[in-house]
């Protein structure tokens, strides 16, 4: 049997760390003229391909008018194109442009570089701990999703 200091998760410390990390990640996007909601839409279009307004809104859990507005902004910036669906004149197909894809790739790469640079300032043991915990944190997010739905 392993003998080590018993450590339990301190909710406040976990909350604080997550909040601070998120703030830095968001700030990094904003410094490059992007935003978290915009990047989420671009990533969704990259992953799911051309999509309708309503489907994107559902996938990202925002209202349809919010998604309409976001897509109009992204279209003005040339990062997506909006075309009327052939076969359903009501529907809009949003699709990444080459520029949009390039911007997204660049933002993602830059964000990874930031995290790697941050990790580089840590001890090996801290990096190991974070690497080991990453899947667990994803599962914690899954669990919280589940609790939300039951609410």
Partner DNA sequence: GATATTACATAGCCTGCCTATATAGTGTGG
Partner DNA sequence: CCACACTATATAGGCAGGCTATGTAATATC
Q: Which is nearer to DNA, 90 or 121 (CB)?
A: 90
Quick one: what does residue 15 bind among DNA, a copy of itself, none, with the CB cut-off 5 to 8 Å set by partner type?
Answer: a copy of itself
What minimum distance in Å lies between the beta carbon of 142 and DNA?
21
Q: Which tokens belong to 76?
A: 């003005």
How far apart (Å, rounded) are the C-alpha atoms in residues 57 and 70?
10
Chain positions 39 to 98 lying near DNA, rule: CB under 7 A, are: 52-55, 61-66, 68-73, 82, 85, 87-92
How far apart (Å, rounded) are the C-alpha atoms in residues 39 and 56?
13
What minimum distance in Å lies between the beta carbon of 131 and DNA?
30
| 3-state DSSP of 69-98 | HHHHHHHHCCCEEEEECCCCCCCEEEEECH
Regarding 151 and contact with DNA (CB under 7 A), the answer is: no
User: Is 84 in a helix, a strand, or coil?
Assistant: strand
Alpha-carbon Rg for the chain, nearest whole angstrom, is 19
Regarding 36 and contact with a copy of itself (CB under 8 A), the answer is: yes
The contacts of residue 85 (CB under 8 Å, 6+ apart) are 52, 91, 92, 93
Chain positions 107 to 146 lying near a copy of itself, rule: CB under 8 A, are: 108, 111-112, 114-122, 125-141, 143-146
Quick one: what does residue 150 bind among DNA, a copy of itself, none, with the CB cut-off 5 to 8 Å set by partner type?
Answer: none
In eight-state DSSP terms, residue 4 is -
Which residues sit at the interface with a copy of itself, rule CB under 8 A?
7-22, 24-25, 27, 31, 36, 108, 111-112, 114-122, 125-141, 143-148, 151
């Amino acid at each position: 049997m392993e003998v080590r200091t018993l450590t339990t998760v301190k909710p406040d410390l976990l909350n604080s760390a997550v909040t601070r990390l998120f703030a830095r990640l968001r700030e990094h996007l904003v410094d490059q003229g992007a935003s978290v909601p915009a990047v989420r839409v671009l990533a969704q279009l990259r992953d799911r391909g051309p999509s309708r307004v309503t489907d994107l809104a559902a996938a990202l859990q925002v209202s349809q008018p919010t998604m309409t507005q976001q897509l109009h902004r992204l279209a003005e910036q040339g990062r997506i194109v909006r075309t009327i669906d052939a076969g359903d004149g009501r529907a809009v197909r949003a699709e990444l442009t080459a520029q949009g894809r390039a911007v997204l790739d660049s933002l993602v790469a830059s964000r990874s570089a930031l995290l790697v640079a941050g990790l580089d300032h840590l001890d090996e043991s801290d990096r190991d701990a974070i690497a080991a915990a990453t899947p667990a944190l994803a599962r914690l997010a899954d669990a919280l999703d589940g609790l939300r739905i039951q609410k």
